[in-house]
Structure 1
Amino acid sequence: MEIRTLRYFLAVAREENMSRAAEILHVTQPTLSKQLKSLEEELGKKLFTRHSFSIKLTEEGILLRNRAEDLVSMADKIEQEFVSLDDISGGDLYLGLAESYQLRFLARAIKTFKESYPNLHYHITSGDTEQLSEKTEKGLLDFVVLVEQPDIRKYEYIEFPQADTWGLIIPENDPLAKKESIRLDDLIGLPLFCSDQAWNGDIKKWAGSRFSELQLEGSFRLSYNGSIFTMEGLGYLLTYDHLIDTSKNNGLAFRPLSPKLENKIYFAWNRYQAFTPIAERFLSHLKVLVL
């Protein structure tokens, strides 16, 4: 199975049309059809269901698409790593980031690093701890920012200097906005928004034996999306301070949880990672700054 064939397959899966995919790939349609037929024969599975004007993935095709995306990304990363070996002015960094206002420390580090390496290119993936850890272990990310203390058997890490504070995003005209802090009793009976990871982790620990009394209205991986639903009166968002604009007259307010709930975040990398030169230089730069 060749990487080129997987690229062909992904193009057809994305476009759902053989002619458009062939045009994008700069190959003839018969050539593309032949490559995909060979791929199906090699795997012994039908990957597409062909209709009059479109092509849809079968269940086997969906499985291959998920695997092929990682394989092609890995191949691209390897090629870029070798190209960058002789580039003393830059290269590519792959970063996986959780949501936190403390990312400003990382952004500042990248900015000062680019003064010495102007040809630095960085690629950002956002996600929760499970998603980012999986990509790191596959070698698709150089560094990752996690909201859970990394497993020292797998990772080395640097701790960010501050902590993120949990609280509730509330419409500014809501009676709860008059409170200085939000206690568990205030949340009982409210439709709440939160990430699945935090709901079953930090919030569950904070609520203790009364966790079952809380009502999860909907889950969001991105706090901004949850704040839109809050603004429209569908519920209340549990998230970190500083992630949502709650300045005066913006329509929303933030109130911290009581008792206080905080998270440390960590800049981590695979303990057995083989770094590219630019990644190794960036890590040295970050260690000097200590974030």
Structure 2
Amino acid sequence: MELRVLKYFLTVAQEESFSRAAEKLHLSQPTLSRQLKDLEHEFGKQLLIREPRRILLTEDGQLLRRRTEEILSLVDKTTNELLRSEEVSGDIRIGAGESIHFAQIMKVAQRLRQKHPGLRFHIITGDGRTTMTRLDRGIIDFGFVYGKLDPAKYKELPLPVHDRWVLLMRKEDELAQKDVIQAKDLWQSPLLLSRQTLSNSTHGDEMRNWLERPLEQLNIVGSYTLIYNASLMVKEGMGYALSLDGLINTEGTSLCTRPLVPAIFANPSIAWKKNQIFSKGSKAFLAALQENATT
């Protein structure tokens, strides 16, 4: 399995056409087709479904596409780090969920770029579980995450900020008449919970303690990973969404938020793999974050 052939495969998967992929790769169509036939023979599996007007992926092909994207991303990342090893430059990839406090991380990034213009920052959005998976696979350098981390696997820099939990709802809903929301108000209400709230060893621990009821005793009607899509579910009347404050601008909309009491907070941190080998750029960024966290 050669990187060159994996790039061919990914281009065909993206273009859904041998002819368009061959043109993009500057190859003849028969050559490209033969290379991918050889790849299928190497794995002993069909990867492509060759329809008259479109190329589709089999289930094995979809798996190979995901892995190929990860492999080629790592190759590019490693190449850039090696080529720029003598200077503070290159790519820094950060996985992050939604938080108004992520702006503080970007302020640090911009100040560092003013000193080292060769740095490039790439933000890959996802919930905590997705971010940690990307961190484990080396796709990102740092994760902006919440909840407990395994100290045997990760190091972390706690950030001097916290996010308060609120309930997102329609202004016409019954609970919108309240100034604050107690746990008992939600025991019979249709709830939309984040995937992390439904998971162990995340900030869901605090939320489940606050609710004072096992999840199976609640009326959970759906879940979400990012709050914007959950807000659309709320607008349609599907339920109430528990969210971190400040993520949805409700001004001038049909939605509103109410704080939970007693108040509960989620505390973010910057995480990285314990044995991570950093580029000079990543080292400089971490040092800047550490300095900012103590000032």
TM range (shorter): over 0.9
> Which residue type is aligned with residue 14 of structure 1?
Q
Give me the whole-angstrom Cα distance separating, in 2, the residues matched to 1:223 and 1:67.
28
- Which of 275, 279, 291 is the equivalent residue of 2:278? 275
- The DSSP-based 3-state class of the residue aligned with 2:278 is coil
- Which of 237, 245, 257 is the equivalent residue of 2:249? 245
Identify which range, 104-113 or 191-200, moves more after superposition: 191-200
**1:193-220 Cα deviation digits (max 9, x unpaired):** 2222213434333323353332222221
**1:146-191 Cα deviation digits (max 9, x unpaired):** 1113221111111111211112111123332221211122223322
Give me the whole-angstrom Cα distance separating, in 1, the residues matched to 2:262 and 2:54.
56
Give me the whole-angstrom Cα distance separating, in 2, the residues matched to 1:257 and 1:199.
18
> Which residue type is aligned with residue 241 of structure 1?
D
Give me the whole-angstrom Cα distance separating, in 2, the residues matched to 1:211 and 1:144.
28
Q: CA deviation at 1:223?
A: 0.4
> Which residue type is aligned with residue 109 of structure 1?
V
Q: CA deviation at 1:241?
A: 0.5
Identify which range, 194-203 or 47-56, moves more after superposition: 194-203
* 8 Å CA contact 1:150, 1:266 repeated in 2: no
Matched, 1:27 2:31: no
- The 5 Å alignment of 1:221-240 reads 221-240=225-244
- The 5 Å alignment of 1:173-192 reads 173-192=172-191
Which residue does the alignment assign to 1:12?
Answer: 12
**1:39-95 Cα deviation digits (max 9, x unpaired):** 11211212112121122212221222222221111111111212222444x321010
Which residue does the alignment assign to 1:139?
Answer: 138
Matched, 1:255 2:258: yes
- The DSSP-based 3-state class of the residue aligned with 2:212 is helix
**1:84-129 Cα deviation digits (max 9, x unpaired):** 22444x3210101121111121011111111101222111111222
Identity of aligned residues (%): 38
TM-score (norm 2): 0.92
* 8 Å CA contact 1:84, 1:92 repeated in 2: no
Give me the whole-angstrom Cα distance separating, in 1, the residues matched to 2:20 and 2:105.
40
Which residue does the alignment assign to 2:43?
Answer: 43
Which residue does the alignment assign to 1:264?
Answer: 267
Gap runs ≥5 in structure 1: none
Matched, 1:115 2:114: yes
* 8 Å CA contact 1:149, 1:265 repeated in 2: no
Which residue does the alignment assign to 2:208?
Answer: 204
Identify which range, 48-57 or 235-244, moves more after superposition: 48-57
* 8 Å CA contact 2:74, 2:138 repeated in 1: yes
Q: CA deviation at 1:257?
A: 1.8
* 8 Å CA contact 1:194, 1:238 repeated in 2: yes
Give me the whole-angstrom Cα distance separating, in 2, the residues matched to 1:210 and 1:75.
45
> Which residue type is aligned with residue 278 of structure 2?
F
Which residue does the alignment assign to 2:56?
Answer: 56
* 8 Å CA contact 2:183, 2:212 repeated in 1: no
When the two chains are superposed, the root-mean-square deviation of aligned CA atoms in Å is 1.7
Give me the whole-angstrom Cα distance separating, in 2, the residues matched to 1:206 and 1:14.
45
* 8 Å CA contact 2:127, 2:226 repeated in 1: no
* 8 Å CA contact 1:156, 1:270 repeated in 2: yes
> Which residue type is aligned with residue 218 of structure 1?
G
Give me the whole-angstrom Cα distance separating, in 1, the residues matched to 2:225 and 2:48.
31
- The DSSP-based 3-state class of the residue aligned with 1:243 is coil
Which residue does the alignment assign to 2:171?
Answer: 172
Q: CA deviation at 1:145?
A: 0.8
Which residue does the alignment assign to 1:124?
Answer: 123
* 8 Å CA contact 2:170, 2:255 repeated in 1: yes
Which residue does the alignment assign to 1:287?
Answer: 290
TM-score (norm 1): 0.93
> Which residue type is aligned with residue 154 of structure 1?
K
